[in-house]
């Protein structure tokens, strides 16, 4: 999402909705790393976590990465949000995806994986924006700035689909096969929320696909195993899908 002024004062309806959703889901059912990521981003948005920047200052763009080497934006842009509803939708999505993947992978493994995916999504965003600038000659791609956790959520959605048995997904009222669900969601969000970052969401999908279907995923699993001492165990169908692309 394109950044707007943060640290709004007064009642934030999105925060209220998020609290209600978390309570309805069951706080005790949200795994610890997922819950910590949600609480951290909420506290950052409302200004309880004191940081020396505003949301609009740390949005990520290809210009900031390649020309100005702004690594602060590269790292923290994913955790900022432009509005309370932007935060609400992202954190509700994180509750669902984290509650599925974290118990399967283990809390420490999921924490490191989340960090790697976050950096990967930032790198993919910058690369896609640069590539589109070169292909189209449109400099706006190079300067387009974005914040939010949506790209990481798209990466997680791809991983969830890879772990699941093939099934039908409900995406905005459309029932579609799992293999195209994430692409349908990408198009629907872009049509319904034009100010959202298409490049960021596409980048998240590509990062998720890289993890599920290429040697990059094997490398990431090995790095996480080295860091935690515990391997990431996938469902059988995940290995079948990965192996079908690697062989």
Distance separating alpha carbons of residues 141 and 133, to the nearest angstrom: 6
CA distances from 140 to 5, 78, 92, 131 (A): 21, 20, 31, 12
Estimate to the nearest angstrom the gap between the alpha carbon of 175 and the chain centroid: 23
202 Cβ contact list (under 8 Å, min separation 6): 128, 186
Give the active site residues: 150, 201
């Amino acid at each position: 999402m394109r950044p707007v002024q943060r640290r709004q004062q007064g009642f934030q309806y999105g925060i209220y909705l998020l609290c209600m959703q978390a309570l309805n889901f069951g706080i005790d059912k949200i795994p610890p790393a997922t819950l910590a990521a949600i609480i951290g981003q909420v506290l950052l948005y409302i200004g309880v976590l004191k940081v020396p920047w505003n949301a609009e200052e740390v949005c990520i763009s290809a210009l900031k990465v390649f020309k100005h080497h702004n690594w602060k934006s590269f790292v923290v842009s994913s955790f900022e949000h432009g509005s309370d509803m932007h935060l609400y939708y992202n954190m509700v999505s994180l509750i669902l995806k984290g509650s599925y993947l974290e118990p399967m992978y283990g809390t420490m493994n999921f924490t490191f994986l989340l960090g790697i995916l976050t950096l990967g999504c930032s790198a993919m965003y910058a690369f896609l924006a640069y590539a589109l600038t070169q292909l189209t000659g449109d400099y706006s791609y190079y300067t387009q700035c974005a914040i939010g956790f949506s790209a990481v959520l798209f990466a997680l959605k791809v991983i969830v689909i890879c772990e699941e048995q093939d099934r039908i997904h409900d995406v905005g009222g459309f029932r579609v096969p799992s293999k195209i669900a994430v692409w349908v969601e990408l198009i629907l969000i872009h049509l319904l929320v034009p100010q959202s970052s298409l490049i960021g969401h596409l980048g998240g999908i590509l990062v998720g696909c890289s993890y599920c279907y290429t040697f990059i995923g094997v490398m990431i699993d090995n790095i996480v195993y080295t860091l935690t001492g515990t391997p990431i165990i996938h469902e059988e169908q995940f290995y079948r899908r990965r192996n079908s692309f690697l062989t």
